[in-house]
């Protein structure tokens, strides 16, 4: 009986291509993931801390939204100035 060549299956090769060249998890990556996951679990399980995080996120979102509105107003002002200058030159 002839021995079959043992190689990686087609699915394994395809998944390796999808994941990239370096598919091996290093211990450093594992520890970073463990710390991030542990921190997220702690924050989500503590009600007061979760409230503080949500409040901070809402304040940050409000600040960003306000800044975007200010930029829109500045763009509108600049556009109006350009249109006015073009009307004067014409």
Predicted confidence at residue 18, as pLDDT, reads 54
Predicted confidence at residue 44, as pLDDT, reads 87
Please give the tally of structural domains in the chain: 1
Q: What is the pTM of this model?
A: 0.48
If you write DSSP's letter for every residue of 63-76 in order, what string do you get?
HHHHHHHHHHHHHH
Residue 30 inside a domain? The answer is: no
Residue 65 inside a domain? The answer is: yes
pLDDT tens for each residue of 54-83: 999 999 999 999 999 999 999 999 999 999
Structural domain including 89 reads 47-90
Residue 24 has pLDDT above 70, yes or no: no
Residue 38 inside a domain? The answer is: no
Please check whether residue 43 is in contact with residue 53, taking contact to mean a CB–CB distance below 8 angstroms: yes
CA distance 90 to 82: 12
Cα distances (Å, whole numbers) of residue 89 to 9, 46, 78, 80, 86: 72, 64, 17, 14, 5
Residue 5 inside a domain? The answer is: no
């Amino acid at each position: 009986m002839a021995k079959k060549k043992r190689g990686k299956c087609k699915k394994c090769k395809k998944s390796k291509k999808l994941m990239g060249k370096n598919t091996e998890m290093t211990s450093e990556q594992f520890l970073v993931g463990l710390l991030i996951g542990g921190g997220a679990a702690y924050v989500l399980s503590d009600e007061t801390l979760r409230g503080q995080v949500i409040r901070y996120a809402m304040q940050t979102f409000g600040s960003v939204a306000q800044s975007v509105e200010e930029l829109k107003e500045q763009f509108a002002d600049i556009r109006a100035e350009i249109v006015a200058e073009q009307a004067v030159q014409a």
